[in-house]
Amino acid sequence: PSEPPFVPYYIPFIGSMVQFGMHPINFIRENQKKYGNFFTFLMFGRKMTVCVDIDGNDFVFNARHSHVTAEDAYNSLTKPVFGADVVYDVPNAVLMEQKRMVKAGLSIENFKSYIPIFIEETNQYIDKHWTKEEDTVDMLKAISEMIIMTASHTLLGPEIRSKLYEGVADLYHTLDGCFTPIHFLFEWLPLPSYYASDKAHAELDGIFGKVIKERRANPDAKHTDMLDVLMNAKYKNGKDMTDKQVGNMLIALLMAGQHTSAATTTWSILNLADQPAVADKARAEIEQMMGTKVIGKDVPEPSYEQVKDFSVLDNVVRETLRIRSPLVEIMRKVIKPVAIPNTEYVIPAGNYLVASTAISALDEKYYKNAEDWVPSRWEQSDENEGSPDKATTDYGFGATTTSARSPNLPFGAGRHRCIGEQFAYLQIKTILYVLLSRFEFSLDPKRGMPERNYQSMVMLPEGPVLAHYKRRHD
């Protein structure tokens, strides 16, 4: 047995950090050509073993927890953001229980009550900020705000949502400031952002604690948000989540969904602006399903089933996630030497693993014209019969496979798979529904389609993300 090939480097310690950091997809592709699906590179003293294509995805996502863990890779990054005692700051078995509790809150019953809230919050943003007949706006900024308002209102509840204008948004922003590659690489540095995050957590604990206390004093009031679910959730041993855990878990959920969903919604709008025929196709399907005109300010409220069945929007989101997967790097740490099946390679303890589902999702081997945004490739037609995900693709909130042997896994697979996928699809599709009903979009002629920006933990469009809106009238 031997270790996977090592990418040569010229600068000791720093290694290939610059090449990887500038454009991870190109870096991985070039080395994949030279070394195959498994190779190691040095990044700031850390040995990073890249595992790509279907075999690499499967190896990382389904690795045994006794040998390979997510918490050893992520906790130094996520603890200052999420706070203590949740997600990667607890043993894996506890995370599994916490995920089960959250999943119980992401029920169809609750989702049904979220649709009017998504619509109301999106309309509120538009009525406040997009007041002209037509204008050019920073689309990423606008959509990020729609995502935080819709997510806070539905997951954290109306009380905390109403405090967003009173400084809670700034506290989130402070926590978010710790969620950068610097904090992954320099976990030992006493960065000022850590101090700020401790302070922000203390303030949020106070705000959340007060709301929880008020709710406990009024046990008969009905709520359909995640706060309510977690406040009443119990571990297998009969213990409650502490109030602090409830608050931290809510922060974790908000953070997990914020940049990922904002990036996906923004890229969707940019691509729809670039290909207005797809936007028109989505509008035609919406009107046909709703049995009424859907244009202008007073958008009718679709049912949960209708949003689920907006198949053009579903394909828009799925295709956007394929070519612009927000999480380009999935990390793990090897804690016991682990053999890669069907190879002679053994990865030593201490190495990090890097999976990148974006590599297989953009591989010509699996998708014709893989770099192009073609939502119709997901349509159930004879022409698409050979599509690699055909057997596992089902309409309605992107219910793609949970197996790791797929080239397209924007939500991961295995024990750490995303539990927010259905929430994200519902939220993104409903926001797109409102936006397409009320506006025509076009790209800014000077700026065009933005490039990808890899400098943040979540891959975003390179700013300024300009797009043009024009009101639609009856």
Question: Which residues of the chain form contacts with ligand HEM (CB under 6 A)?
Answer: 70, 95, 99, 253, 256-257, 260-261, 264, 326-327, 330, 410-412, 416, 418-420, 423-424
Q: Measured from the CB atom, is 418 or 432 closer to ligand HEM? A: 418
Q: Measured from the CB atom, is 48 or 424 closer to ligand HEM? A: 424
Nearest distance in Å: CB 7, ligand HEM:
23
> Which pair of tokens denotes residue 306?
């209708």
Q: Contact 82/438 with Cβ under 8 angstroms?
A: no
| Distance, CA of 379 to CA of 321 (rounded, Å) | 16
Q: Measured from the CB atom, is 290 or 410 closer to ligand HEM? A: 410
Nearest distance in Å: CB 141, ligand HEM:
18
> Which pair of tokens denotes residue 354?
């890097």
Q: Measured from the CB atom, is 81 or 327 closer to ligand HEM? A: 327
Nearest distance in Å: CB 169, ligand HEM:
18
Nearest distance in Å: CB 431, ligand HEM:
12
Short-list 152, 52, 98, 114, CA closest to 397: 114
Q: Measured from the CB atom, is 375 or 420 closer to ligand HEM? A: 420
49, 423, 453 from 429: Cα distances, Å: 36, 10, 24
Nearest distance in Å: CB 355, ligand HEM:
8
Examine residue 464 and say whether the peptide bond preceding it is cis (omega within 30 degrees of 0): yes
Q: Measured from the CB atom, is 47 or 318 closer to ligand HEM? A: 318
Nearest distance in Å: CB 381, ligand HEM:
25
Three-state DSSP state, 419: coil
Neighbours of 222 (CB within 10 A): 6
Q: Measured from the CB atom, is 129 or 452 closer to ligand HEM? A: 452
DSSP 152: I
Residue 465, Cβ density class (10 Å: 0-12 exposed, 13-18 middle, ≥19 buried)? buried
* 193 CA to centre of own chain: 23
Nearest distance in Å: CB 322, ligand HEM:
11
| Distance, CA of 434 to CA of 300 (rounded, Å) | 9
Nearest distance in Å: CB 341, ligand HEM:
19
| Distance, CA of 312 to CA of 459 (rounded, Å) | 24
User: Closest residue to ligand HEM, Cβ-based?
Assistant: 420
Continuous segment of H or E residues that includes residue 51: strand 46-51
Short-list 443, 398, 120, CA closest to 260: 398
Q: Measured from the CB atom, is 168 or 317 closer to ligand HEM? A: 317
